[in-house]
Amino acid sequence: MQKLTPDDLMTLERYARERKEFRTRVMAHKKTRKLGVGPNTSWLFEDRLTIHYQVQEILRTEKIFEPEGIVEELEAYNPLIPDGRNWKVTLLIEYPDPATRPAALARLKGIEDRCWVQVADFSRVFAIADEDLERENEEKTSSVHFLRFELTDAMVAALRGGAKLSAGIDHANYAHSEDSLPTVLREALLADLA
């Protein structure tokens, strides 16, 4: 999947005019790329459009319009766009009650390394997590992680042939799986593969 360049981005003025329509389109797109794994995690499978939106929002919020700042944001976010043989996921750990969240995050240390996808009877592919920076400390894990799942050519061929795709987490304190991903998500993920 092609990385974003400064030419792909809207100016702040144009984005202000088109933001509502662009946001509506991206939110609908994200719904087709989101997977709940158990009651407290969501996986957003990123692609060029989801990252484009993220960058536009950061530029808008931070009022970044100088070329150096724009390039810096692209360098930070382009690695989250899939490369054609992998999927890139934003893992969100969601505990809405602020009183229970710290204890839950403490119990879930290491969860980012226990996320997996599986194509048919191939071995599970475990996530490569947080390549940009460590998001866990001695006390707890973060509520947001960035994951990469690398697939083999044989796995991609099997998926194109209709093989089953499942995903899950096998952490000692959080073991959940989705045995068959929704068709709309599966189709979106197939489109990400070269």
- pLDDT reported for residue 41: 98
Cα 42 to chain centroid distance, Å, stands at: 9
E strand intervals along the chain = 34-36, 41-45, 86-93, 115-119, 125-126, 128-129, 144-150, 165-171, 174-178
* 194 and 102 in a common domain: yes
* 112 and 180 in a common domain: yes
Q: Note the pTM of the prediction, 2 decimals.
A: 0.92
> At residue 159, what is the residue type?
L
- Yes or no: say if 4 and 78 are a contact pair by the CB < 8 Å rule: yes
Taking residues 102-129, what's their average pLDDT?
Answer: 96
- Yes or no: say if 87 and 60 are a contact pair by the CB < 8 Å rule: no
* 103 and 71 in a common domain: no
Q: Which domain holds residue 171?
A: 33-46+82-194
DSSP letter at 141? B
How many structural domains compose the chain?
A: 2
- Of 33 and 135, the structure prediction assigns the larger pLDDT to 33
* 91 and 77 in a common domain: no
Tokens coding 58: 């950061």
Distance CA 92, CA 25 (A): 21
Apex 35 CA angle, 168 and 58, nearest 5 = 120
DSSP H or E run through 188? helix 183-191
**Tens of pLDDT along 129-164?**
987 766 667 788 999 999 999 999 999 999 999 999
* 52 and 10 in a common domain: yes
Apex 154 CA angle, 150 and 159, nearest 5 = 85
What is the percentage of the chain residues whose pLDDT exceeds 90?
93
* 147 and 170 in a common domain: yes
* 173 and 144 in a common domain: yes
Among 73, 79, 151, residue whose Cα is nearest residue 119: 151
* 186 and 122 in a common domain: yes
**Tens of pLDDT along 61-92?**
999 999 999 999 999 999 999 999 999 999 99
